[in-house]
Amino acid sequence: MKKIYGVIGDPIEHSLSPIMHNASFQELGINAVYHAFQVELENITSAILGAKALGFGGLNVTIPLKEKALDLVDASPLAKKIGAINTIDFKDDILGYNTDGIGAKRALEKHGIDVVGKRVLILGAGGAARAIAFQFAKGGATLFIANRTESRAIELSKEVRTIGDAFGTGLEELPLLIKKADILVNSTSVGMLPKTEETLVKADQMHSGLIVFDLVYNPIDTRLLREAKKAGAVTIDGVDMLVHQGAESFKIWTSKNAPIDVMEDAVRCALRC
């Protein structure tokens, strides 16, 4: 019998997770299928319990359900710290994980970059920023979190300081922070379709020793990354993050290493072909 997996969120039609995971199942000969399901926030409890009752193998969880879903699962210690989950496994009970942070870490490692001892500037203080901040702080980075609402950045930095070095500030400090940063991570939606010409940072604010990592993957070549290339900085696009966090979910569900190259090719083709 074919095992069913899926992603729940609202909206969900933009998700590339079905393309990515179905390519993985086909590559490894796993009798499974992955679908996207539109689930409104008020229906999340019914959706998760229903998926468990119907024998689903697992779910991914995306905006705006990640925080609420945490309350409905037996969450991992890291997911509890982050305050959100993006992966649910139904093998034993209803177990929740957050693979965003490890996905970002492995995306950097793919390019030979280790966060140990690095000064990392994170733009934004939302769910993805939280996951990355805890993961990178745990990995030995010093974090600077800049957000439009300064109080959110300061609050997140206080939480992260339970495991590492972190400081929060508003966006007005960006010029100085970028000069000192080794890695710049955009965890906001700025630059995402349809507003592709938006960016929080331009080339004249960057330096050639900077690594610029944009979590936005549609478009792949964001305005931020184009500005970074003008400055001679190293660039990493959001597809790497999408693929590696998905690969971690795949391993949680199947206990198998995901075919990362196959997943990446499927996503990049969907965006460009």
The pLDDT tens digits for 72-120 are: 999 999 999 999 999 999 998 999 999 999 999 999 999 999 999 999 9
Residue whose C-alpha is closest to residue 234's, from 181, 193, 272: 181
Looking at the predicted structure, is the pLDDT value of residue 63 above 90?
no
CA atoms in the 13 A half-sphere facing the CB of 11 = 4
Share of the chain above pLDDT 90, in %: 94
The pLDDT tens digits for 229-238 are: 999 999 999 9
Looking at the predicted structure, is the pLDDT value of residue 150 above 80?
yes
Share of the chain above pLDDT 70, in %: 100
pLDDT, residue 42, reads 97
Residue whose C-alpha is closest to residue 172's, from 197, 138, 147: 147
Question: 109 with 212, same domain?
Answer: yes
CA distance 123 to 129: 8
The pLDDT tens digits for 13-60 are: 889 999 999 999 999 999 999 999 999 999 999 999 999 999 999 999
Question: 248 with 195, same domain?
Answer: no
Question: 27 with 84, same domain?
Answer: yes
pLDDT, residue 1, reads 86
- Domain count for the chain: 2
Looking at the predicted structure, is the pLDDT value of residue 273 above 80?
no
Question: 105 with 231, same domain?
Answer: yes
Looking at the predicted structure, is the pLDDT value of residue 193 above 90?
no
Question: 146 with 69, same domain?
Answer: no
Question: 188 with 232, same domain?
Answer: yes
Question: 71 with 118, same domain?
Answer: no
127 or 107, higher pLDDT? 107
Place of tokens 């549609």: 218
Looking at the predicted structure, is the pLDDT value of residue 206 above 80?
yes
Gap between the terminal Cα atoms of the chain:
33
pLDDT, residue 184, reads 98
pLDDT, residue 44, reads 97
pLDDT, residue 92, reads 86
pTM of the predicted structure, to 2 decimals = 0.92
Question: 40 with 161, same domain?
Answer: no
The set of catalytic residues is 66
The CATH number that applies at residue 124 is 3.40.50.720
- H-only helix segments in the chain: 17-28, 44-53, 66-70, 77-82, 100-110, 127-138, 150-160, 174-180, 223-230, 238-254, 260-272
Banded pLDDT at 259 (limits 50, 70, 90): very high
- For residues 207-235, give the mean pLDDT: 96
The pLDDT tens digits for 157-190 are: 999 999 999 999 999 999 999 999 999 999 998 9
Q: Residue 144: give the domain boundaries.
A: 101-236
pLDDT, residue 14, reads 86
Backbone φ and ψ for 51, nearest 5 degrees, come out as -65, -40
**∠ Cα 151 152 156 (to 5°):** 115
Question: 143 with 232, same domain?
Answer: yes
Q: What is the DSSP letter of 71?
A: T
How deeply is 92 buried, as exposed, middle or buried, from its count of CB atoms within 10 A (0-12, 13-18, 19+)?
exposed
Looking at the predicted structure, is the pLDDT value of residue 272 above 90?
no
The average confidence (pLDDT) of the chain is 96
